[in-house]
Amino acid sequence: MRDAPDLTPPPPEDPDAQLRRTLARHRAVATGLLGGMGGLLVGTYYMPPGYWTDLLQASAKAGVVGGIADWFAVTALFRHPLGLPIPHTAIVPRQKERLGAGLGRFVANHVFTEDEVRRVLARLDLAAILRDFLRDEEAVRPAAVALAAAMPRVLASLEDGRARRLMARLLPRLAGGPGSAKVVAKALTALIEGKRHQEVFGLAVGQLKGLLSAKEDQLRAAIEARVRAEGGTLVGWLAGATIARRVLGALNAELDKVQPDDSELRQAFETWLRTEIARLEDDPERAAAVGRAVREALANPAVAAWLGEIWGRLRAALEADAANPHGRTAQALAGMLGNLGTVLAEDEGARARLNRAAEGVLMALLPNARTKLADFIAGVVRNWDTATVTEKIELRVGRDLQYVRINGTLVGFLVGGALFALLTAAFGRIAV
C-alpha cells in the first residue's frame, strides 16, 4: 500500500530571504577581515624584530582597534554588544516610537510636498486616463451596472426624514430664485418654436367648452338671477331666460370659431406669450414676481405632498429598473459615461479644466492628508514588534553598515602605519 500523498502546504516564502543572505555574507567578510587583522597582529610577535616588523605591528594594532570600535558602534544600533546593558546601546529598539514619528514626518513633509504632488499629477494626466477609460465600452459597461446597482442605496439615503425636510426647505429657495424666470422663459420659447402652445391653447378651449356644457343649467340660472338683480323681477321674468340663452349661445359659438390658423384669439394668445417671455427675460421685477410665485407654490403643503407622491413612484420605478443589468438606468449611465469620454477626447479645454479641478482638490486635501500619513506611519511602526522593527531596519541597512566595519578596519590599519612612520621619522624609534 502506497503512502498517502503529503498535502501539507509548503511554508510561505520568506520575502527577506535574499536580504538575510546578503547581510550574512557581508557580515562574514567584515568579521573575517577583523579576525585576519587580529591574526596578523599576533603573527608580528613571531617575526624578526626590526623597523618593518614594528610598522606592520602598529598598523595591525590600529586595524584591530578600528575594526572593534566600528563593530561596537554598528552592533549598538540594534542590540546590546555581547548582551551587556551598556548605556546608549540598542538604540533602535529603545527609540522605536521616536523613529516611527520621525519617519512619518520625513515622508509627509519631504516626500509628499506640493511641488512633488504637482509633478506627479502632471505626469499622470488624470483627464487622459479618465478619457481612455470612458471611451472603452467594455470597461464602462461594468461601471455603469455597478452605479445602477448602487442607485437603491442612494435613493434609500434620500428617504431619510432629515433629507426630506432639508429638500423641502431648499427646493423652494433654489427653484424660486430669480433664475426660475429664465427657466420659464426658455420653456415657453421651446413651446412656441415647437408649435405646442397652440395645442395647449386648444386643450384649454376644449376643457372650457366641456365645463360650459356641464355647468350650462347652473350658468343659465346664475345669469337669470343677475338680470333680476339688476333689472328687477319683471325684467328678469320677461328677458332673463332669453338673455341667459343668448349669452351662453354666443360664448359657445365664439369658442367654436377658434381655429389654429385664422383665430384672432389664438394669435392674441401667441402675442401675449411672446410679450410675457420678453418681460421674463428683461424685467427684473417680473422675474422676481415669478420667483416668488414658484417659491410659494413649492412651499404649499399640497404641492409638497404631490411632489412626494411623484417622487415615491419615480423611486419605485428606478429601483426596479436599477436591479436589471440591461435596464434603462444602466444603459443611460453607460451613455452618459461614454458621452463624457467623447467630450474629454474632443475638448482639450475640458481636459485641462478637469486636471486643474483634480489638482485643486488634492492640493486642498494635502495638508490634512500629510498629517494623516505621518500619524499612519508612526502608528504602524509603533505597533510593530520591537524585534521585527529592528530586524527590518538591520536587513535593509546592515550591508552598508558592514562596509563601515570593513572600512574602519582598513582605515585603522593604514592610519596606524602612517602614524608609526611619521612619529618614528620625527622622534626616532619608540616603544610599541
pLDDT for position 238: 47
Mean pLDDT over each residue of the chain, to the nearest integer: 75
Locus of grid cell 603573527? 43
Interval 317-330: pLDDT, tens: 777 777 777 777 77
- As given in the structure block, the three cell numbers for residue 331 are 444603459
- For the chain, the 3-state helix, strand and coil shares in percent, each to the nearest 5, are 85, 0, 15
Helix (H) or strand (E) run with residue 385 in it: none
Interval 156-190: pLDDT, tens: 666 555 555 655 665 555 555 555 556 666 666 66
CA dihedral 417, 419, 425, 431 (to 10 degrees): -80
> How many Cα atoms sit within 13 Å of 172 on the Cβ side?
17
Greatest mean pLDDT among 56-60, 319-323, 348-352 lies in 56-60
The pTM is what?
A: 0.44
* DSSP conformational letter for 259: -
CA dihedral 223, 229, 230, 234 (to 10 degrees): 90
Q: List the one residue out of 292, 7, 335, 273 whose CA is nearest residue 177.
A: 292
Q: List the one residue out of 431, 406, 327 whose CA is nearest residue 63.
A: 406
- As given in the structure block, the three cell numbers for residue 225 are 338671477
Q: List the one residue out of 54, 99, 56, 105 whose CA is nearest residue 78.
A: 99
Give the list of residues 6+ apart from residue 374 with CB closer than 8 angstroms, or none.
Answer: 101, 104, 105, 107, 108, 109
Which carries the bigger pLDDT value, residue 342 or residue 23? 23
pLDDT for position 432: 45
d(CA 315, CA 308): 10
d(CA 322, CA 154): 11
* DSSP conformational letter for 10: P
